[in-house]
Every structure is written in C-alpha cells, then in structure tokens.
C-alpha cells in the first residue's frame, strides 16, 4: 500500500509540475523577432561594446525594435550597416568611415626619461598606482601593454621600443584600448586621413616637456609658420594638424626641432 501511495504522490506531483510547465510555456510564450538572430549573425560578434550596448545580441535587439540607429557598430563599419539596413528594409545610413586607434606618443625608452625604476606588476593601470606612473612625462605611454591585453581583435602588439603598435588591418576602431589606457594616450581617428600627424599628447609647457622627453611637442609654434596650408594650430602647448587641410608637403618637418611630427601610417582600407 505504501508503495502505491508513493508512486501516486510522486507521479502526480511530476504530472502536475509537467502540466504547469507545458501550460506556462504556451501561456507565456515570447515571440522573438527572427530578424534579431539574423542581425546578430551579421554583427562581428566580438561583444566589444563600442556601440554602447551590452554586446552584439543586445544591440541587435534594440536595432530591430527601432530604438537605435543602425550605424552604431563601429567595428563592423559600412558593410555591417549596409547589411543590417537590408535586413530591416530601410535605406542604409552608413556614413561612418573606418576608424582606427592611434597611439599619440613617440617617447620610446631611449628618448623619454623615467622618474624611477618600476618593478611591479606589468600592467599600466597597476603602474599608475605608484606615483602616477614611472614615466616622467605624465602624458606619455607607459608601454606595459594594457591596451594590447584588452584588444578583442588582436590588433595591437608591443613594439621593441616600448610603445604599442596598431595593426591597421585588424584594428576596427572600437575604442576599447582608448578606454582602457590610464594615460589617455590612445585616440580613435579617421583611418582614411593622409598627411602628417603630431604624435605627442603632452600639454605641458616647453621646458617641462624637454626636461623629460627628447621628442615631445613643446608648443613652440615654429611649425605654424612653416605650414603653407595653414593646417597647424597650437592649443594647450600642443600642436595639432588638421588632416583636411594638410596636403602632405612635409615642409613642417624642417621646422619641427623635436621630431614629434610623423607621417600618418598609410592604411590599406579594403
């Protein structure tokens, strides 16, 4: 008798719970838009968060609902925006040019002075905890590779000279490295630009810069006079070149005493 009772009660319980689950699965069924999955497949799937949402799936969902623009995916760029727009049946709004990360520091180990010898955890954020970093220039790259570490596209590696190198082919301009860099020395720039660029981030006055670095921009304004295109401006003791005006004539290189001016690395855009 006991045996029958046990079977009936446990079996009955199982049946009731099963029935409940089956009913709730029907009653509370969520209609998912099939386009969400399609768009999710089209996105790069790196879940980098550059669009401002919690991963590709989240963005796909928001995009289908029409809550956000379709050109938010920075790594995907024009191509992804076009194909998403196709799925959604709307005109593509792709205007975003390919972006790329740029390390605005050329203060290699040879030319930039260190304040002290750092022998801690090899990570820029950790190094910042000790006296705001070991590099004497407070704007310069520490070269411990936190950006290399966080890059989801494997587009950065540490060069022999102690500065990270961006691989223009793999870089998608997602900006994760720029956010991770504790010294804010990485900028996201237009990948198609040409001409010269000033790879220095120091806003210190001339004397302070030349004390700590042999190549940093001292804001002397000599290049302004040297530029026939009037493409150079100096703000906060730091020169910058307007890439729209620059025609890559190279006159400025003769005027810059500091070697902070470099060619834009030519990028093969596919």
- Residues of this chain that interact with another protein (CB under 8 A) are 2, 5-6, 9-10, 13-14, 17-18, 20-21, 24-25, 28-30, 120-121, 123, 125-126
Residue 251 and residue 228 in contact, taking contact as beta carbons nearer than 8 Å: yes
Min separation Cβ 73 and another protein, Å: 20
The distance from CA 24 to its chain's CA centroid, rounded to whole angstroms, is 44
The C-alpha R_g of the chain, in whole angstroms, comes to: 27
Between 120 and 250, CB nearer to another protein:
120
Residue closer to another protein by CB (options 104, 183) is 183
Among residues 34 and 120, whose Cβ is nearest to another protein? 120
DSSP assignment of the chain, as one string?
Answer: -HHHHHHHHHHHHHHHHHHHHHHHHHHT-----HHHHHHHHHS------TTSSSSHHHHHHHHHHT-S-TT--TTTHHHHHHHHHHHHTS-----PPPEEEEE-----TTTB-BSS---S-S-HHHHHTTTT-SBSSTTS---S-HHHHH-TT--EEE-TTSSEEE-TTT-----HHHHH-TT--EEEEETT--SEEE-----S-HHHHHHHBSSS-----HHHHH-TT--EEEETTEEEE-TTT-----HHHHH-SS--EEEPPP----
Q: Compare residues 18 and 250 and give the one whose CB is closer to another protein.
A: 18
Q: Which is nearer to another protein, 148 or 191 (CB)?
A: 148
Q: Which is nearer to another protein, 48 or 94 (CB)?
A: 48
- Kindly tell me which of 21 and 90 has the beta carbon lying closer to another protein: 21
Q: Cβ of residue 52: shortest distance to another protein, in angstroms?
A: 16
């Amino acid at each position: 008798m006991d045996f029958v009772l046990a079977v009936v009660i446990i079996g009955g319980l199982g049946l009731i719970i099963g029935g409940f689950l089956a009913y709730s699965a029907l009653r509370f069924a969520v209609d998912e838009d099939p386009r969400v999955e399609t768009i999710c497949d089209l996105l790069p799937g790196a879940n980098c968060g550059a669009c401002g949402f919690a991963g590709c799936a989240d963005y796909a969902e928001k995009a289908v609902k029409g809550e956000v623009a379709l050109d938010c995916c920075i790594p995907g760029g024009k191509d992804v925006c076009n194909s998403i727009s196709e799925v959604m049946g709307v005109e593509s709004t792709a205007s975003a040019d390919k972006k790329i990360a740029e390390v605005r520091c050329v203060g290699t180990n040879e030319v930039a002075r260190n304040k002290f010898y750092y022998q801690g955890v090899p990570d820029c954020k950790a190094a910042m905890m000790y006296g705001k970093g070991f590099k004497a220039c407070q704007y310069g790259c520490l070269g411990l590779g936190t950006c290399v570490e966080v890059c989801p596209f494997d587009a950065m590696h540490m060069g022999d000279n102690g500065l990270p190198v961006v691989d223009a082919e793999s870089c998608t301009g997602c900006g994760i490295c720029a956010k991770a860099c504790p010294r804010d020395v990485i900028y996201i720039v237009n990948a198609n630009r040409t001409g010269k660029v000033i790879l220095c981030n120091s806003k210190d006055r001339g004397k302070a810069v030349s004390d700590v670095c042999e190549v940093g921009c001292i804001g002397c304004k000599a290049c302004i006079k040297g530029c026939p295109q009037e493409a150079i401006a100096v703000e906060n003791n730091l020169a910058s070149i307007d890439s729209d005006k620059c025609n890559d004539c190279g006159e400025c290189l003769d005027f810059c005493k500091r070697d902070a001016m470099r060619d834009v690395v030519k990028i093969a855009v596919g």
